[in-house]
Structure 1
Amino acid sequence: MTPDDDFRAWAAQHRPLLVRTATLLTAGDPHTAEDVVQTALTRLYLAWPRLRGVENRTAYARRVLVNAFTDEMRSTRRQREDLRSELPDRATGDGGADDDARLLFAALGELPERMRAAVVLRYFHDLSVACTARALRCTQGTVKSQTARALEKLARRLGPVLRADDGAAPPPAAHPQPDTLPTPLIRTPHPAGSLR
């Protein structure tokens, strides 16, 4: 198998996961997500001959994807346009998966890019603090602080929605722990058959 054949086979298998990750990183912007994935795949293709001996190509690809995302955000400073003055506290639809995805993307969009990347890597990819720090090229302490602050912001933003079916809910804790946000919401933000 030639290096090109090897890369094509790897890319065909892993591209869907890269797209899902990029969609979360871009807070639901499918066009920017596709741009980020294309940039990441181009960089991976150029580096592929050097990666033959690399044991975990997926981890390397995640790092390349996050770097491509960071570069894209830095170069364009894109802001998602919202024509409403305030985002709703609750889903306005029937509470289905599409509404959950929209709410999650809106909440992720309110986080700074690096904080969003830390949350996506920790909770969508289930990476350890150490692996997340390697992917983001930062210290483990930075990952912990970024994740804690992100979860606090997400809990404030999504907490009323997550507790909507429980009737009256107690006020959120001053410093929510990681289990404040149910992992299923973060892991399954997309309707069946769309991105997951």
Structure 2
Amino acid sequence: MRGADTRETEFAEFMVGRWPWLVRLAYALTGDWGHAEDLAQTAFTKALISWPRLRRADDPDAYLRRILLNANRSRFRKQRVPETGAAPQEQAVTVPDGTDELDQRSVLVAALMELPPRQRAVVALRYWDGLTETQTAAILGCSAGTVRSQASRALAKLRMSPHLHDGSTSR
């Protein structure tokens, strides 16, 4: 019984220390705080199941990121085909005046949601989470060159996103 208590305590400490970070990363992937918390909970549930292996990993955060990305991919696949067969509703996004950080973040997330899932994952890991190209490639299971090309394409799309422009034509 003592071993189970120790395991639960270790995992609880691991989870509490990483919860805010993982929810923020999930938010960068989903664009919705509710979905982000659900995704983080799913990732931690899977991490608990794999805890003996995870706690011995060289980089448990990378392992946890991988679990989160896989859970997000599964979520995205399930959402891809609407159950009703109807086209998804377009959501109106209000362009902020640029003074409110929360509005700016919402606009950025709206622009991120326009990216394909792979490009969104690259942007979230590279620029939101601050990983190197090599670290991002390892987590996504691709080459550093793929990360560079996906990041380049994503940034080009973000530069053209109407969500990130205030209506002026100057850059």
Please indicate, yes or no, whether the TM-score normalized by the shorter chain is above 0.5. Answer: yes
Counterpart check, 1:35 vs 2:43: no
Spell out the pairing of 1:81-160 with structure 2 (5 A cutoff). 81-84=89-92, 91-93=95-97, 95-157=99-161, 160=165
- Output the aligned Cα RMSD: 2.3
Q: Separation in 1 of the partners of 2:97 and 2:62?
A: 37
Q: Which runs of 5+ in 2 are unaligned?
A: none
User: In 2, Cα distance between the equivalents of 1:137 and 1:111?
Assistant: 19
Shift of 1:128: 1.0
Deviation at 1:138, TM superposition (A): 1.5
How far off its partner does 1:39 sit? 1.1
Separation (CA, whole Å) in 1 of partners of 2:164 and 2:101: 17
Give 1:21's match in structure 2, choosing from 25, 38, 44: 25
CA distance, structure 1, for counterparts of residue 40 and residue 52 of structure 2: 19
- Distance (Å, rounded) in 2 between the aligned partners of 1:83 and 1:119: 22
The alignment's TM-score, normalised by the length of structure 2, stands at 0.83
- Aligned-pair CA distance for 1:38: 1.3
> Residues 80 and 41 from structure 1, CA distance in 2 versus in 1: closer, same or farther, beyond 3 angstroms?
farther
Does 1:59 find its partner at 2:62? yes
Secondary structure of the residue that 1:2 maps to in structure 2? Answer: helix
Separation in 2 of the partners of 1:119 and 1:68?
Answer: 17
Paired-residue identity, %: 39
How far apart are 1:36 and its partner, in Å?
A: 1.1
TM-score by length of 1: 0.74
Structure 1 CA distance, aligned partners of 2:27 and 2:108?
11
Q: For 2:56, what is the secondary structure of its paired residue? A: coil
Unaligned runs of 5+ in 1: 171-196
- Name the one with the larger helix percent: 2
Shift in CA distance, 57/112, structure 1 to aligned 2, threshold 3 Å:
same
